[in-house]
Amino acid sequence: MHGEGRAFDLGRMLVTNRNTGALFTGFNGRYDQWKSYTGDAFTIARTRYWGTAASLHHHFRHVISYLDNTEHHNHIHIDNAVSGSGNSSFSTSSVTQTYYVQAACRYLWGYDTGIDGDWGPQTQSHSSAVLTRTGSDGVITTQSRWLHFCKQSALRAWALAP
C-alpha cells in the first residue's frame, strides 16, 4: 500500500500544550526505545501509544503495531487497503485488531487480558465489559460497537473520559 500512496508509517507526533505553548511527545512509535523506560515515563509512553492506536483503528482497518512483529518496533503502520475511505470495522479473525483490543483492555482499561492475538472468551468478555462501562453493550463485533470501543479507548488514554 505504500507504493500506491495509501499507507504511511507513524514514528512520532509532537503536540503543543495549548495552555503553555510547550511541545511534548504525544505519540512515540519507537517501542524499541520506550520499552526500556521505567515508572511514569513508561506508563505514559505506553498509554499514549495505545490511545493513538485506538484513534487509528477507528479510522483504518489495517493498523500494525509492535505486537505484530519486530519490523514494527520503531513505528506503527496504517493503511486503508481494507477500510477504503470509510471508518473501519472489526473482525475476530484479524490478529492485528485482536492484539489492539487485548492491549487496550489491559493497558488502558486495567483488565488482566492476555495478549496473544487470538480472539477468545477472555478477550470478548473484557472488551464487552469496556463497552458496558462506557455506555454501550453487547459484543464488539458490530461496526458501531467497534467504533465506540476505539473512541472510548482513545478518550481514556488522553484522560478526556473517566
pLDDT for res 17: 85
* Nearest CA among 100, 93, 96, 6 for reference residue 52: 100
Low-confidence ranges of the chain (pLDDT < 50): 162
Is 125 part of any domain?
yes
Taking the mean position of all CA atoms in its chain, how far away is CA 140? 15
Total number of domains constituting the chain: 1
Inter-residue contact 56 to 9 (CB < 8 Å): no
The parent domain of residue 32 ranges over 7-157
Helix (DSSP H) and strand (DSSP E) numbers for the chain: 5, 5
Task: Tell me the average pLDDT of the chain.
Answer: 92
Is 147 part of any domain?
yes
Is 81 part of any domain?
yes
Is 141 part of any domain?
yes
Per-residue pLDDT of 18-59, as tens digits, reads: 889 998 888 999 999 999 999 999 999 999 999 999 999 999
Phi and psi dihedrals of 9, rounded to 5?
Answer: -115, 125
- Name the amino acid, one letter, at 148: H
